[in-house]
Amino acid sequence: MTIFKGSGVALVTPMKENGEISFDSLDALIEAQIAGGTDALIVCGTSGEAPTLDDPEHLEAIRFAVERTKGRIPVIAGTGSNNTAHAVMMSEESEKLGADGLLLVTPYYNKATQDGLYTHYRKIASATKLPCIVYNVPSRTGTNILPETMARLAKDQDNIAAIKEASGNISQVAKLCALTDGMLDVYSGNDDQIVPICSLGGIGVISVLANVAPRETHDMVMLCLEGRYEEAKKLQLRALPLVEQLFIEVNPIPVKAALNMQGFSVGSPRLPLTEMTDAHKATLEKAMKDFGCL
């Protein structure tokens, strides 16, 4: 039940000056990503500021992305929540809207047990026929889903198809790949670990970097999948200074600033996130010019 191989962009949600979603800018982003070789769109995730989207606009952004993409690449909807019933509802609605898959962040703040995580994901996945990607990002959620729990989910629930692994722990990723042994697709959730995770059996990345450098991010994964790791390594290392700048403030503050520099008019983040500092904008701009995406 593989959804995609390659680079899935963790797409930002562009905003107008009045704070509403700018669908004209979202259309431009979608077209630029497809033209740039991106293999899947992930909408309304962390980079898409899902925590500050209300349900109607969240679902409208998903509907719009599906409509504008026209089946050219998969659209994966961010529908995770720390409220299981809410995640079920958003997942069911996204399936009706034509999404190709779901991205389900590990419940945050509640700090569920491993049994709680297992039951949470089984409940959501059982409510939809769509393939589900579990999103493990302990730095944001305060909870780490263990390899043993993911192996159990992959075995017991057919449409739990993949994991976005953003723990940053390569040893954990290695154990995950060993325990699941082909039952589960693994995507890097960190742009500085694309090549290492692909070398362990990963098939792609769900990427912030791809917002501003779609072609290079796609190529990095494809080089890995073709076994051309020396070339992939060079591209990974060349991208590191830019990746560092894209996370010098909390995501998606820097990537929105970067896209504005590229002329996409994505606006500012919604509060409680704020505009990037001028000092950080200067170092981000330099990194983008050095990488060749500005």
Nearest-angstrom CA–CA distance, 78 and 160: 14
Q: Does 135 participate in catalysis according to the annotation?
A: yes
In the 3-class helix/strand/coil scheme, how is 188-202 assigned residue by residue?
ECCHHHHHHHHHCCC
Instruction: Note if 289 is an active site residue.
Output: no
Active-site hit among 121, 164, 256, 281: 164
**Greatest distance between any 2 Cα atoms in the chain:** 50
Structural tokens at position 164:
């976005």
Give the whole-angstrom CA distance, residue 277 versus residue 2.
Answer: 40
> How far apart (Å, rounded) are the C-alpha atoms in residues 237 and 227?
17
Q: Using CA atoms, how far apart are residues 261 and 59, in angstroms rounded to an integer?
A: 28
Catalytic entry in 118, 121, 135, 187: 135
243 sits in which H/E element: helix 229-246
| Secondary structure of residue 251 in the 3-state scheme | coil
Cβ(140)–Cβ(108) under 8 Å?
A: yes
Q: Using the structure block, give the residue that is written with the tokens 């263990």.
A: 146
Contact 3, 164 (CB under 8 A): no
What is d(CA 262, CA 212) in angstroms, rounded to the nearest whole number?
Answer: 8
| Residue 109 vs residues 26, 113, 114: alpha-carbon distances, Å | 30, 12, 14
Give the separation between CA 135 and CA 8, rounded to whole angstroms: 13
Q: Which residues have a catalytic role annotated?
A: 135, 164
